[in-house]
């Protein structure tokens, strides 16, 4: 039976897994571009893995458990327990990924001075810069959406901050999808936009249900405090898991 993902190894005690679709992508790169295509593809996903390890390293330093890192054709996912983390920690964890990509950009930019690998380093430098900027877009599940959420939470509360970030993300996703499909005539860009739209919506619903299950009501809609029902912890776990599955559903199509 074919597995959906394979374990590459452990880094900092974190299982690093690769989705089977990424292996298919490597085979495609070989037949289309030869051995150089594999080198470039592996280089890109090493950079993505380091980006995710940046998130994970800060999370571990702050005392949170990182379950695994999954590499997919559309990027990487760090699965960790930080739903109850402090806002400062969330901000640091979210910012660590783009900062790692920015550092890698600087390293590859300097390595461009070495002639034998100048072209490869130049392209990897550009890729890391784009990875940094792309992840700073204000939408879920990108780092920019989580940074915006963490910055706004002290001012308007976690639920409203998530709602605002989710709304901005859905508007950007819709605009990106329309532009990609009707201007570039690229259905793949439309599919990516649809994934971003669903992820932004799922993030708000997960935080909404988590807030309701922990407090017994949604903040701002009642004045009487009540104790959480016995099933609150299970409900919170269910909706958190549901959010994770929704966010990765479209990734698993590739």
Residue 203 catalytic? no
138 contacts 169 by C-beta, under 8 angstroms: yes
Q: Strand, helix or coil at 75?
A: strand
What is the side-by-side strand order in the sheet with 5-11? Answer: 5-11, 14-19, 66-72, 75-80
Q: For residue 251, give both structure tokens.
A: 């990734």
Helix, strand, coil % over all residues of the chain, rounded to 5:
70, 10, 20
From the candidates 52, 90, 163, 203, give the one annotated as an active-site residue. Answer: 52
Q: Whole-angstrom Cα distance, residue 120 to residue 223?
A: 61
Q: CA-CA distances (angstroms) from residue 164 to 138, 205, 239?
A: 10, 12, 20
100 contacts 92 by C-beta, under 8 angstroms: no
Pairing between β-strand 5-11 and β-strand 14-19 as defined by DSSP bridges = antiparallel
Could you list the active site residues? 52
């Amino acid at each position: 039976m074919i597995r959906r993902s394979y374990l590459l190894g452990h880094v900092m005690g974190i299982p690093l897994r690769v989705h089977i679709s990424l292996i298919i992508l490597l085979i495609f790169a070989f037949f289309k571009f030869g051995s150089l295509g594999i080198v470039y593809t592996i280089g890109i996903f090493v950079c993505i893995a380091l980006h995710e390890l940046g998130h994970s390293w800060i999370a571990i330093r702050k005392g949170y458990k990182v379950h695994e890192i999954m590499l997919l054709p559309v990027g990487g996912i760090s699965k960790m327990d930080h739903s109850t983390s402090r806002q400062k920690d969330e901000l640091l964890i979210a910012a660590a990924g783009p900062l790692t990509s920015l550092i890698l950009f600087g390293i590859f930019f300097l390595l461009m001075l070495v002639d034998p690998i100048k072209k490869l380093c130049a392209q990897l430098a550009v890729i890391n810069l784009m990875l940094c900027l792309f992840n700073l877009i204000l939408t879920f599940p990108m780092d920019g959406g989580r940074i915006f959420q963490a910055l706004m939470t002290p001012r308007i509360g976690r639920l409203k901050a998530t709602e605002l970030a989710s709304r901005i993300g859905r508007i950007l996703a819709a605009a990106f999808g329309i532009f990609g499909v009707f201007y570039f005539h690229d259905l793949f860009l439309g599919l990516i936009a649809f994934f971003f739209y669903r992820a932004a919506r799922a993030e708000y619903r997960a935080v909404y249900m988590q807030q309701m299950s922990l407090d017994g009501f949604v903040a701002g809609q009642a004045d009487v405090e009540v104790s959480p029902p016995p099933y609150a912890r299970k409900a919170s776990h269910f909706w958190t898991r549901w959010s994770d599955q929704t966010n990765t559903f479209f990734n698993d199509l590739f």
